[in-house]
Structure 1
Amino acid sequence: METTNPYIGMWVTADNHIRQQLLPDGRYDEARGRRANAYTGRYQVNGTHIDYQDDTGFTADGEFDGDVLHHGGYVFYREGSLAHRAAIAGRP
């Protein structure tokens, strides 16, 4: 039985500068500002933990907390979620 990854989709910083698309095939594509495809690679989710390996071999990880992702010193939000809208509005 295949389990669907609940975190597939677009994750963004509150200022929308960093946009990370988690794709269903286990790959990700990250844009920074106007630079599309700034980082690309593979990811793997285990529970609420995510491990990344970009196409140059660099590795990183993060933790999901509902519609919030803590990764690389940044806070990402599931695009369009209540948490994202609150972050844009400056609410905790």
Structure 2
Amino acid sequence: MSTIQIVEDTKEYIGTWVTADGYIRHKLLPGNRYDEGRGSRISAYRGSYTITGNHIDYLDDTGFTADGEFKDGILYHAGMVLYKEI
């Protein structure tokens, strides 16, 4: 029987996730911090994140919250689809 590994266990969520057009870029950093770029704004938003299973919760440094889900190597967040940069 094979063991199912989730993103939380493998740390595969760490790295840069981008929309297909490259406009939105989420850098999920070690230490549960993130930096989000939008268009020409390199650091439009910064904050912390927590991951439970394949669910991610964001807390922006300004107090804004959001969430998302990792599924089949894709991050679904606030109506956006983000792919991990390799």
Alignment TM-score > 0.5, same fold: yes
Structure 1 or 2: more strand by fraction: 2
Structure 2, unaligned runs of 5 or more: 1-8
Q: CA RMSD in A?
A: 1.1
Q: How does 1:1-92 map to 2 (within 5 A)?
A: 5-80=11-86
Which of structure 1's runs of 4+ aligned residues deviate more than 3 A? Answer: none
Structure 1, unaligned runs of 5 or more: 81-92
CA deviations 1:34-55 (Å, max 9, x no partner) are 1011010000011100000000
Supply the AA of the counterpart residue of 2:63: G
Matched-pair identity in %: 60
TM-score, length basis structure 1: 0.80
In structure 2, the residue corresponding to 1:56 is in which secondary structure? coil
Supply the AA of the counterpart residue of 2:42: A
Structure 1 or 2: more helix by fraction: 1
